[in-house]
Amino acid sequence: MIEFGGVSKIYGGPLGRRVTAVEDLTLAIQPGEVVGIAGPNGAGKSTLIAMLLGYVAPTSGEIRIAGEPPRRWIERHGIGYLSELIAIEPRWRAREALVRYAVLAGIREREVGARVDAAIDRLGLGEHRDKRVRALSKGNLQRLGLAQALLREEAVYVLDEPTHGLDPVWTQRFRGIVGELRGPGRILFIASHNLDELQRVADRVAIIDQGRLQRVVDTRAGGSASGAMTYRLVIAEGADHVGTSFAGAIRVADNEWELPAITVTVLNDGLSRLLSLGGRVAAVMPARSALEEEFRAAIAGADADAGGGGGGGP
């Protein structure tokens, strides 16, 4: 289990401006869970990850991994970590880099070759194995970073923006990798700005803003907490009747409207009215994912509570 207990982090000295990066954050992550973390830039995500890895000590509160301080636990058991910014010596060749990381990770010498080759195959880097790092594209460099994070079988993985730079094919394959990593004794902690991907791979998503945990969304529930969502409506005929069928509908294109946040019952009642008036519906779909709806509401609430001021830290 990973536990954040009333964790705060304040940067700055007695003479400088003090910045609260994380404030009184409490969150428990159970083995077997894939938990995402989302928030706008400056919300405190990077500081939270740095504290989880034991690189930065909390100003107050405590973090525990299986009951131990993070650094002590990681030094004893290891962790799979992908940083947001991948910095690998550009002169190394891809396979050489993974061999070096495998040795640093404490993999036995006789197992290094097999582990490295398995990671190369898993991330589709076979044709790039002998290329120098500086010659890799952004997407291939990202895959190399993922490969090093997956060299060992770990109980905890911390992945910071893992799909950054990946093309749609490898973004989809990443979902498969997450599925393979799921297990009753393993935790995956994924930070991402890509809400659609977090919706697909995470069990829960913690939304933070201005250093505070605003809400935790259970993405397995399949809808927003209120049951209301915004929808995109495409009309084939009867455009004049959309306004009378859906209060607050906004025209966004010739035959497309965005409906305000409504429940499924209100949606169906409005569609019935529209059809009875002679309208013809070509398509209706969520305008945003349920997680995006929750994210927007959480951030708007945080801004209202702060009166539009304040801010998170690094």
- CA count, 13 A, side-chain hemisphere, 96: 10
Report the pLDDT averaged over residues 187-208: 94
> Phi first, then psi: what are they for 88, rounded to 5°?
-120, 140
pLDDT at position 202 is: 94
> In angstroms, rounded to a whole number, what is the distance separating the alpha carbons of residues 24 and 306?
16
> In angstroms, rounded to a whole number, what is the distance separating the alpha carbons of residues 221 and 215?
15
> Phi first, then psi: what are they for 311, rounded to 5°?
170, 155
Report the pLDDT averaged over residues 11-37: 91
> In angstroms, rounded to a whole number, what is the distance separating the alpha carbons of residues 275 and 269?
10
- Structure confidence at residue 314 as a pLDDT band (50, 70, 90): very low
Which residue type sits at 54? G
Report how far Cα 64 is from the mean position of its chain's Cα atoms. 21
Partners of 283 in the beta sheet?
A: 234
Report the pLDDT averaged over residues 77-104: 95
Helix (H) or strand (E) segment spanning residue 250: strand 250-253
Report the pLDDT averaged over residues 256-281: 93
pLDDT of 225 higher than 60: no
> Phi first, then psi: what are they for 275, rounded to 5°?
-70, -35
| Both structure tokens of 198 | 């977090």
Point out the least confidently predicted range of 142-146, 152-156, 298-302: 298-302
**CA-wise closest residue to 102 among 90, 119, 89, 85:** 119
> In angstroms, rounded to a whole number, what is the distance separating the alpha carbons of residues 181 and 161?
17
Report the pLDDT averaged over residues 229-249: 92
> Phi first, then psi: what are they for 86, rounded to 5°?
-90, 115
- Structure confidence at residue 310 as a pLDDT band (50, 70, 90): very low
Partners of 7 in the beta sheet?
A: 25
pLDDT of 308 higher than 70: no
pLDDT of 15 higher than 80: no
Report how far Cα 116 is from the mean position of its chain's Cα atoms. 26
Query: Residue 98 in contact with residue 145, Cβ under 8 Å?
Result: no
Report how far Cα 123 is from the mean position of its chain's Cα atoms. 20
- Structure confidence at residue 62 as a pLDDT band (50, 70, 90): very high
**CA-wise closest residue to 34 among 129, 150, 157:** 157
Q: 199 versus 187: which is more confidently predicted?
A: 187
Partners of 215 in the beta sheet?
A: 207
The position carrying tokens 């009333």 is 6
Report the pLDDT averaged over residues 35-55: 95
pLDDT at position 259 is: 93
> In angstroms, rounded to a whole number, what is the distance separating the alpha carbons of residues 270 and 188?
41
| Both structure tokens of 89 | 């010596």
**Above pLDDT 90, what percent of the chain?**
78
Report the pLDDT averaged over residues 163-192: 94
